[in-house]
């Protein structure tokens, strides 16, 4: 009996032979790519011109954009392709929540990165001009930064709704700051107690230092972060977010030095950065080439 040669809904021909993936219509390939990651999409775009064309599709990049992005970005950007919008959100942050936060995307995964502005933080004595000064600062991300003029009780706290974070993602949390040339007090009361965790639950605590010039023992020390115009950052902790969208919990973050009793001065607080953990060996090579529109033929990978 002759078998049917018609295609089946299971992706196989009528006689049970698998359909060659590259023989699928471009729209089908685009749908499949949209279920991967931006990094995988860029790698697969090197397979053939058909794959590259599918990888340029708005269908693919719409999946990688955060929900509600249309209301967050400038109107001029809405007229561009979804890939261009995605790359813009990777290379440039946008201010949200009336300037209290910034949002950007991690390039390889599309996961969301946030920064909490100084004004969105709870800073003890922050409204007292004798102790803290507010104002603009060269290269700052937000309209105002908080400059410490002098306190012996230093307490900074921030919160963010966990539903804003990308699911199944390990986040790292950093305090972004600068030290004035005339700063003092951090070698006398050197360590800070810092913590990250869900409000009302277990808080992961550790020791951190803001002074990079002196090493006092085990703990987290600051380093320069090129993404923040040579400002410094110190890790406050990490948090693995599992759920997506429906939870109403808050992630609590704090920086404390309240026991030493010594006066401190000269820290400029730029905010708290919350970003997906980077893995050793991650490379932008395929993504960078794809973002620049480099042709598949440049790699001599034509089919």
Q: For the chain, list the domains and their CATH numbers.
A: 101-276 (2.60.120.260)
Q: Which tokens sit at 111?
A: 């996961």
d(CA 141, CA 62): 27
Contacts of 186 (CB under 8 A, 6+ apart): 179, 209, 210, 211, 264
pLDDT value, residue 99: 95
Taking residues 81-86, what's their average pLDDT? 95
- Look up residue 193 and give its two tokens: 């107690």
Structure token pair of residue 276: 């997906």
Q: What integer pLDDT is reported at residue 116 of this predicted model?
A: 98
- Mean of the per-residue pLDDT values of the chain: 83
125 has pLDDT over 90: yes
pLDDT, tens digit (0-9, with 9 covering 90-100), for 11-61: 444 455 555 666 788 889 888 899 989 999 988 888 888 888 889 999 999
Would you say residue 181 has pLDDT above 50?
yes
Give mean pLDDT, residues 207-212: 80
Can you read off the two tokens belonging to residue 62? 């719409």
The span from the CA of 104 to the CA of 257, in Å, is: 31
Q: Which residues contact 20 (CB under 8 A, 6 or more apart)?
A: none
Model-level pTM greater than 0.75? yes
């Amino acid at each position: 009996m002759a078998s049917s040669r018609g295609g089946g809904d299971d992706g196989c021909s009528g006689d049970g032979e698998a359909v060659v993936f590259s023989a699928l219509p471009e729209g089908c390939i685009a749908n499949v790519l949209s279920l991967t990651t931006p990094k995988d999409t860029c790698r697969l775009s090197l397979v053939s011109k058909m794959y590259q064309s599918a990888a340029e599709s708005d269908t693919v990049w719409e999946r990688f954009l955060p929900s509600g992005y249309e209301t967050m970005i400038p109107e001029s950007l809405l007229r561009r392709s979804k890939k261009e919008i995605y790359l813009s959100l990777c290379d440039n942050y946008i201010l949200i929540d009336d300037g209290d936060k910034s949002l950007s995307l991690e390039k390889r995964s599309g996961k969301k990165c946030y920064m909490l502005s100084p004004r969105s933080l709870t800073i003890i004595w922050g409204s007292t001009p004798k102790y803290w000064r507010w104002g603009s600062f060269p290269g700052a991300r937000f309209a105002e930064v908080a400059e410490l003029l002098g306190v012996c009780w230093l307490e900074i706290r921030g919160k963010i709704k966990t539903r804003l974070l990308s699911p199944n993602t390990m986040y790292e949390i950093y305090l972004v700051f600068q030290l004035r040339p005339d700063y003092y007090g951090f070698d006398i009361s050197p360590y800070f107690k810092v913590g990250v965790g869900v409000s009302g639950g277990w808080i992961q605590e550790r020791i951190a230092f803001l002074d990079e010039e002196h090493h006092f023992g085990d703990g987290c020390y600051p380093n320069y972060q090129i993404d923040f115009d040579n400002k410094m950052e110190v890790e406050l902790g990490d948090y693995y977010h599992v759920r997506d969208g429906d939870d109403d919990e808050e992630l609590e973050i704090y920086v404390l030095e309240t026991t030493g009793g010594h006066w401190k001065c000269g820290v400029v607080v730029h905010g708290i950065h919350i970003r997906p953990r980077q893995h050793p060996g991650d490379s932008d090579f395929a993504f960078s080439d794809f973002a620049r529109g480099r042709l598949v033929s440049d790699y001599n990978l034509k089919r």
